Amino acid sequence: MADKKMVEAITSMEEDFAQWYTDVVKKAELIDYTSVKGCMVIKPAGYAIWELIQKQLDERFKETGVENVYLPMFIPESLLEKEKDHVEGFAPEVAWVTHGGLQPLQERLCVRPTSETLFCDFYKNDIHSYRDLPKVYNQWCSVVRWEKETRPFLRSREFLWQEGHTAHATAEEAEERTIQMLNLYAKFCEEVLAIPVIKGQKTEKEKFAGAVATYTIEALMHDGKALQSGTSHNFGDGFAKAFDIQFADKDNTLKHVYQTSWGMTTRLIGAIIMVHGDNEGLVLPPRVAPIQVCILPIQQKKEGVLDKAYELKKTLESKFRVKVDDTDKTPGFKFAEAEMRGYPIRVEIGPRDLEAGKCVLCRRDTREKIEIALEDIEQEVGALLDKIQAEMLERARKHREDNTFTAKTMQEFEEHFANQNGFVKAMWCGDRACEDQIKEKLGVTSRCMPFEQEKLADTCVCCKKPASKMVYWGRAY
Amino acid sequence: MADKKMVEAITSMEEDFAQWYTDVVKKAELIDYTSVKGCMVIKPAGYAIWELIQKQLDERFKETGVENVYLPMFIPESLLEKEKDHVEGFAPEVAWVTHGGLQPLQERLCVRPTSETLFCDFYKNDIHSYRDLPKVYNQWCSVVRWEKETRPFLRSREFLWQEGHTAHATAEEAEERTIQMLNLYAKFCEEVLAIPVIKGQKTEKEKFAGAVATYTIEALMHDGKALQSGTSHNFGDGFAKAFDIQFADKDNTLKHVYQTSWGMTTRLIGAIIMVHGDNEGLVLPPRVAPIQVCILPIQQKKEGVLDKAYELKKTLESKFRVKVDDTDKTPGFKFAEAEMRGYPIRVEIGPRDLEAGKCVLCRRDTREKIEIALEDIEQEVGALLDKIQAEMLERARKHREDNTFTAKTMQEFEEHFANQNGFVKAMWCGDRACEDQIKEKLGVTSRCMPFEQEKLADTCVCCKKPASKMVYWGRAY
C-alpha cells in the first residue's frame, strides 16, 4: 500500500530504535541538522507541534494565576556564582560570551542554561512587602547547555522551554505550588499528549542543583527507556538567602521568601515520537496534531472528486485542523506520506464513494478503516478523534504496565536489566552508596520515589538494611 | 482626583519627553532594569502587550501562508562572513561566544543579531526543486545587538522580534512578497496599534546590510520624532549566490532563488507609549490592552457593591479582558493606577449607582465620563471600545498631519529643524552626498522615499540639481 521508496528509508524500531528515531524526525520533516554543532532547525511540522503544546500548556498555567514575563538571555558570571550548588551544577555546561562588538567584556556573561539567578536578582528589587507576594511568573524562551552528545529534541545544545519561577511568603505555599505544577504537568501529558506518567520525587543524587526537593514526571518510551518529562523544584529559602530576597510581613518583620521553579521543554516532542510512533513513522495524538484530518482524493482527475474534497475540508475546518492533499504525487506516495507525518485521520474519497455518498476514514494509530456516510462526516470525525486520543493513552498505559517489573533481590534486579529495559520497582534504604552501586552495576538510575508508594519488601534491594522508599529504576534518555 | 504620590512621580512630557517615557515604562510596570547592562526585564504588564501583538500578527501571517520555524541562536563566524555587506553591517555589534563549558571553541559563534545567514544555510539543504518553492518561514525569537546607548523597548542589547525569511523562484515573486509584508505591517499598525504609518523605501544609505531594497513603515511619535516600526527587505539573489542556494526549475536548469526578510520587534511597545501616552501615563489601544475594562467599586464595603462589581465582570469577561480592582487601596490611588496602566475603560460603580441601576464608563483616552444603564453594559462597552480604537487612530493621524511640513529651500529646511521636530517632506536628487550633508547640517536622516510621491519642486533641496524623489526627513529614535 505504501510507497516503497519512502518506507524503505525508515529503519524498523525492532532492528535499531535509535536509528528509527533519527529516521522519523528527518522523514516526518520535524527537524534538520545545521552547521551549528549540536543545534537543530525545528521545521514547520515540528514547530507546529510545539505551538500546540505551548498554547494548551499556557492556558492551563494562566488558569492557575501564572503571568508571563521575559528576562535577559545573559547571566553575569558573578550572578551565576551566588548560589554555590547551583553554579557547581551548571558552570561546566554553559556557553560564555566574552566579547561585545569589537571589545572584550569586563565580566563574561553566560547564555542562560536556566534562569533562577536572574529571577532572584529581579525579585530582590521587585518584592518589598507581603502585598507583593506571591509572584507566579513564567517565561517561554530558549536555553543553552553545552552537551557533548546530542540528539534531536532529547538533548541539544539549545532547546526551547518554559520556566516558571515563583516566590511565596511561606514554605507551605511554596511546596503547594511545586506540587500543583507537577500535577498540572502530569494531567497535561495524559490529557493532551496521551502519555501516562509516574509522579514522584527525585533522590538527593538526582535533584536539581540548588533545590531542597525536585519532583518529576517520568514516562516510558516504546523501547522501555525512561524519559524525564517535566520537573518541579522547591528551593525553600536557599536562593532567597543567597540573593537576599526579603519582604516585610504582616507582622512588620523582614522575612526571606520561599521559591519554586518548574519546566517543560521541546523534549516532549521526542516523547510523543517514542511513545506513539511506529514503523510507518509518526503517530500524533489529535490534540497536538497540526493536521488532524488529511483528505486524500482518489483518482482526483475524475469529475467532482477534487470539488468534493474541498467541500469536505470546508465542512470540517471550522472545528478541526484539516488539509487536502491535492498534489500530483502518486496515491501510494500520498498514503505513505500521510502515515509518516502521523495525521490522526486520513479521509479517502474517490469517484465510487461520491456516487454512493460515502467516504472512508482511516485511523493512523490502528490503521483501521471505517466507511461512513458523507453527511455524517463532521460528527464521525469529531467522535473518532476523541476515541483515538483516549485509546492512544490507554495503549501507552498498557505498554507501561506491561513493562513495569519488581525486583526483590539484586540477582532479580541484575537479571532483569541484563535482558531488557522497562521500569523496575525496588526497595531502597535511602543511602547514596546503594544508589551509586546500582548505577554502576546495572547501568540504571533512580527515576523517582513515586508518590504512590508500595511496600514490596522490608529491606533495601542492594544492602539489605531496612528500606525507607520504593523507587522506580530505569535506563533513561 | 488622582492620588498625588503616584502622579507626582511622572515628569510631564512637555518638560522632558525622555524622562516622561522612562517614568511611564517604570510606573506602568512594563519593564524593570537588570544587572545585565543594556538588557531589561519585560514585566507582566509589558509582556501581555507583546503576547497580544504576537497573536494578532501571527494570525495575519498565517493567513498569507507563513509557517513558523525555529533556528539556532548561534552563528559560526565563517557563516556570518559569507555575504560581505551583511558581515560589515553586523560584525561591529554582535556578542561573541568563545567558550563552551570549560573548553575554548574551535570557531567562535556570534549570538544572532538577525538570521539571514542561518536561513541561507538551511535553505541550501532544504531547497532542491521548484516544487520546494516558495518557502515562507518565520520565527519568533530574541536577538542581540551590542548597542552602546540603550532605552527600554526602543534600543536594547537583547530584544524580542519576529523575522520572516522567504525564498522564491523569481525576482518578481520576491518583490511581491516584500511589498505584501510591508502592507501587512502597515495595516496591522493602523488597525491594531492605532498608529498610522508612512510606507516607503529606504535610501541606499539607510538600507539593510545585504539588501537590494529595504522598505519601511515610519511612525511619528508625540514629540515629533520618527520611529522606524517595521522593515521588509528584498535581497534579490545576492545571498543565494553567496550561499549557493540553487533549485532545478521546471525547464530543468539550475537557478538561484530570490529572497526576502521582514521583521517587527518589541519596539512597537515603545511606539504605543509614545504615540498614545499622556501625562497621566499609558493609554492603550483596546486591541492590545491586556485589561480592556477595569471595574472600580466605589465604597466597596457598602452592601452589594463588590457583588455587583463581580457580577459585571462575569457579564463582560466572555467578550472582553476585564478585572475588578477590589484591593484595599484608596479610591484616589486606584483611579491614578488605572490611568497609569492605560486601561481603555474604567467602570465606576457605587451604592448610588446600584440603586439607580446605573454605572459610569470613563474613557482613558479622552477622560470623558458616560453614564449608562447597567443592563446595557455589554453592548455599551463593546461599542465604546470600538469607538476608542477608531478615535485613537484618527487622533494619531491628525497629530502626524499637523506635524508634517514641506521644505523647498535649505533655509526653510534648516529653520524648521532648528525650532522643532516632525516630518519634513523635501525633494532630493538621489545623491548620497546631499543626504550626508543634510544629516550633518540638520541632524536628521532620510526616513523613506514614500510610495505616495508628490512633486514639491523640480530640484533637490540641497544641491539644486534635478530632483528624482520626494523624501520624508526627521529625527529618529
CATH (domain of B325): 3.40.50.800
Chain B residues within an 8 Å CB radius of A157 = 100
Q: Does the pLDDT at position A5 exceed 80?
A: no
Position A282 in a domain: no
- The DSSP symbol for A142 reads E
How many structural domains compose chain A? Answer: 3
Q: Same structural domain for residues A298 and A267?
A: no
Q: Crossing angle for the helix pair A17-27 and A267-276, nearest 10 degrees?
A: 110
Distance CA A407, CA A420 (A): 13
Q: Which of A386, A412, A445 is the last residue of a domain?
A: A386
Cβ of A96 within 8 Å of Cβ of B92? The answer is no
What is Dmax (Cα atoms) for chain B?
81
Cβ of B41 within 8 Å of Cβ of A137? The answer is no
Q: Same structural domain for residues A315 and A202?
A: no
A44, A79, A98 ranked by CB distance to B35: nearest? A79
- Residue A321 has φ and ψ, to the nearest 5°, of -90, 110
- Grouping H, G, I as helix, E, B as strand and the rest as coil, residue A147 is coil
Position A393 in a domain: no
Please give the average per-residue pLDDT across B364-393, as a whole number: 98
What is the amino acid identity at position A411? Q
User: Residue A228's pLDDT band (boundaries 50, 70, 90)?
Assistant: very high
Position B313 in a domain: yes
Confidence at residue B84, expressed as pLDDT on a 0 to 100 scale: 86
User: Residue B2's pLDDT band (boundaries 50, 70, 90)?
Assistant: very low
Domain range for B360: 291-387
Position B49 in a domain: yes
Chain B residues within an 8 Å CB radius of A146 = 100-101
CATH (domain of B83): 3.30.930.10
Distance CA A239, CA A87 (A): 12
Using DSSP bridges, classify how beta strands A158-168 and A135-144 pair: parallel, antiparallel or unpaired: antiparallel
User: Residue A84's pLDDT band (boundaries 50, 70, 90)?
Assistant: confident
Q: Same structural domain for residues B309 and B256?
A: no
Please give the average per-residue pLDDT across A408-414, as a whole number: 96
Cβ of A111 within 8 Å of Cβ of B94? The answer is no
List of residues 6+ apart from A159 with CB closer than 8 A:
A142, A143, A145, A153, A265, A266, A267
Chain A residues within an 8 Å CB radius of B74 = 36, 39, 95, 158
Q: Same structural domain for residues B135 and B31?
A: yes
Q: Does the pLDDT at position A3 exceed 50?
A: no
User: Residue B102's pLDDT band (boundaries 50, 70, 90)?
Assistant: confident
Indicate the average pLDDT of chain A. 96
Instruction: Give burial (CB, 10 Å; 0-12/13-18/19+) of B300.
Output: buried
Residue of chain A nearest B159, judged by CA positions: A72
CATH (domain of A426): 3.30.110.30
Q: Same structural domain for residues B266 and B316?
A: no
Residue A415 · residue A406 · CB < 8 Å: no
B416-464: pLDDT as tens digits: 999 999 999 999 999 999 999 999 999 999 999 999 999 999 999 999 9
Confidence at residue A86, expressed as pLDDT on a 0 to 100 scale: 84
User: Residue B1's pLDDT band (boundaries 50, 70, 90)?
Assistant: very low
Please give the average per-residue pLDDT across A260-289, as a whole number: 98
- Residue A67 has φ and ψ, to the nearest 5°, of -120, 140
Confidence at residue B245, expressed as pLDDT on a 0 to 100 scale: 98
Cβ of B95 within 8 Å of Cβ of A97? The answer is yes
Does the interface ipTM go beyond 0.85?
yes
Quickly list DSSP for A352-388: HHHHHTEEEEEETTT--EEEEEGGGHHHHHHHHHHHH
Q: Does the pLDDT at position B314 exceed 60?
A: yes
Q: Does the pLDDT at position B8 exceed 70?
A: no
Confidence at residue A89, expressed as pLDDT on a 0 to 100 scale: 87
Position B185 in a domain: yes
Distance CA A100, CA A382 (A): 54
Q: Same structural domain for residues B109 and B231?
A: yes
A415-463: pLDDT as tens digits: 999 999 999 999 999 999 999 999 999 999 999 999 999 999 999 999 9
B34, B79, B122 ranked by CB distance to A72: nearest? B34
Residue B476 · residue B447 · CB < 8 Å: yes
Q: Same structural domain for residues A58 and A163?
A: yes
Cβ of A99 within 8 Å of Cβ of B98? The answer is yes
Using DSSP bridges, classify how beta strands A345-349 and A293-297 pair: parallel, antiparallel or unpaired: parallel
Position A81 in a domain: yes
Q: Same structural domain for residues B134 and B203?
A: yes
Q: Same structural domain for residues A109 and A142?
A: yes
A153-204: pLDDT as tens digits: 999 999 999 999 999 999 999 999 999 999 999 999 999 999 999 999 999 9
Distance CA B140, CA B69 (A): 8
Q: Which of B276, B300, B329 is the last residue of a domain?
A: B276
Q: Same structural domain for residues B241 and B303?
A: no
B470 sits in which H/E element: strand B469-474
- Output the pTM of the full model: 0.96
- The DSSP symbol for B436 reads H
- Grouping H, G, I as helix, E, B as strand and the rest as coil, residue B404 is strand
Chain B residues within an 8 Å CB radius of A26 = none
Residue B94 · residue B124 · CB < 8 Å: no
Position B392 in a domain: no
Q: Same structural domain for residues B156 and B34?
A: yes
Instruction: Give burial (CB, 10 Å; 0-12/13-18/19+) of A204.
Output: middle
Distance CA A12, CA A22 (A): 11
Q: Does the pLDDT at position B5 exceed 60?
A: no
- The DSSP symbol for A238 reads H
Q: Does the pLDDT at position B4 exceed 90?
A: no
Position A446 in a domain: yes
Q: Does the pLDDT at position B253 exceed 50?
A: yes
Q: Same structural domain for residues A311 and A189?
A: no
Confidence at residue A6, expressed as pLDDT on a 0 to 100 scale: 52
A363-372: pLDDT as tens digits: 999 999 999 9
B337-346: pLDDT as tens digits: 999 999 999 9
